[in-house]
Structure 1
Amino acid sequence: MKREQRQRQDDEFSAFVAGHGRRLLRLAELLTGDPDRAKDIVQSALERAYLNWHRITSDDPSAYVRRIVVNQHRDWWRRLRNHELPTEHTPDRPLDEDLAERLAERALLNQALGTLTRRERTVVVLRYYGDLAEADIAAELGIAPGTVKSTLHRALSKLRALPQLADRSGWMAGHTTHIEVTV
């Protein structure tokens, strides 16, 4: 019986990773600004989730694992305080225009998010990429809802003031409730 139960848990976990893995990775990339570090954070978060999967499935597994990703990022930030900047590598073959444009947009987004404090970045990513309400963000980060609102307001003001975003009319100008993130 235990073997069948364990197999069922493994199947459920595999289905969860297949359905949510890319979104968790993108969340971590937006939080860290570094794809390699994001992969490490998601891998570590999934390891922790797997060990407790029998308890997680009774709640909302995506919220639980997303919280682990945010906490892993926070732990990494506290532990390392590393300010290295990743270097860009020239691709061996030319990129198609659509991919190149999407990569440029993603780089611009990461650069813009990099101007924010750690808390501002986390709040913006959870609000607009994670599509969480302010109350949910407050609960997830353990801060007051008013702190989420003021942090979000401050972060959006900083983003709107960036010169590299000034000419991107649909991206930030005049929008307080939507940041377009392409995956």
Structure 2
Amino acid sequence: MRTTPSAAEFFEEYVRARAAGLTRVAYLLTGDAHLADDLVQATLIEVAARWERILAGGDPEPYVRTVLYRKHLSWRRRHRREALPTGDLPEPAGPDISGRVTTAVAVRAALAALAPKQRAVLVLRYFEDLTESQAARVLGVTVGTVRSQTRDALARLRKIAPELTDAVEVVRR
């Protein structure tokens, strides 16, 4: 009888444990549930091919995140001419039942208006709670680039979504 799980079993366990979290991050990056699922699937396919080597390096999470973020950026570069989400939201079907929902919609629309790298930096820094150096490592850029992208993204958010100013000010602190 085998006592140690195989790499494939470790991969299955990892996917079960992290798929929902990766999909949430991918949704924040893409702004589309279907694209988020596709991004996670493409990421996991790429990672599965190298899983034994990834496990040999220790914790697979940083590697998987790096693949996810970089794959998102490369998809955006490749598909720039595709339809882009508009800033116009449809009229709500019913009454506004929650300020949280309104804020969430405004945040999604504002994130969709940012450049892909700016969006990735904000998600890494404020949703994933990574440091500047960790975010730089994930994206394969310098810490200075992370700082400037963060600064520019927050300034753009203040300009395009003034209703989120309080949220942006909390993020800056």
1:116 match: secondary structure: coil
Output the CA distance in 1 between the equivalents of 2:155 and 2:85. Answer: 25
Q: What do the CA deviations read for 1:55-113 (whole angstroms, capped 9, x no partner)?
A: 111232111111111122122112211233389899xxx9xx57xx6554432221111
Over 3 Å counting, the alpha-carbon distance change for 1:12 and 1:174 in structure 2 is: closer
- 2:74 and 2:170 mapped to 1: Cα distance? 34
Deviation at 1:35, TM superposition (A): 1.1
Q: Which residue of 1 aligns with 2:66?
A: 67
By how many angstroms is 1:148 displaced?
1.0
Match of 2:169? 173
**1:21 maps to which residue?**
19
TM-score (norm 2): 0.81
Partner residue of 1:53 out of 41, 51, 54: 51
TM value normalised by structure 1: 0.77
Q: Are the equivalent residues in 2 in contact too, given 1:25–1:38 (CA < 8 A)?
A: yes
Whole-angstrom distance in 2 between the partners of 1:34 and 1:108: 15
Instruction: Name the residue aligned to 1:136.
Output: 134
Percent identity reads 33
Q: Which runs of 5+ in 2 are unaligned?
A: none
Can you list the C-alpha shifts for 1:106-144, whole angstroms capped at 9, x where unaligned? 322211112222221111111111221111222222222
Secondary structure, aligned partner of 1:76: helix
In the alignment, structure 1 segments of 5+ residues that lack a partner are 178-183
**Compared CA separation, residues 175 and 48, structure 1 to 2 (3 A):** closer
In 2, the alpha carbon distance for the partners of 1:102 and 1:113 equals 16
1:154 corresponds to 2:152: yes
Larger deviation, residues 22-31 vs 7-16: 7-16
Aligned length, in residue pairs:
169
Could you tell me whether the CA contact under 8 Å between 1:160 and 1:173 is conserved in 2? no
Deviation at 1:154, TM superposition (A): 1.6
Measured in 2, the distance between the counterparts of 1:123 and 1:173 equals 17
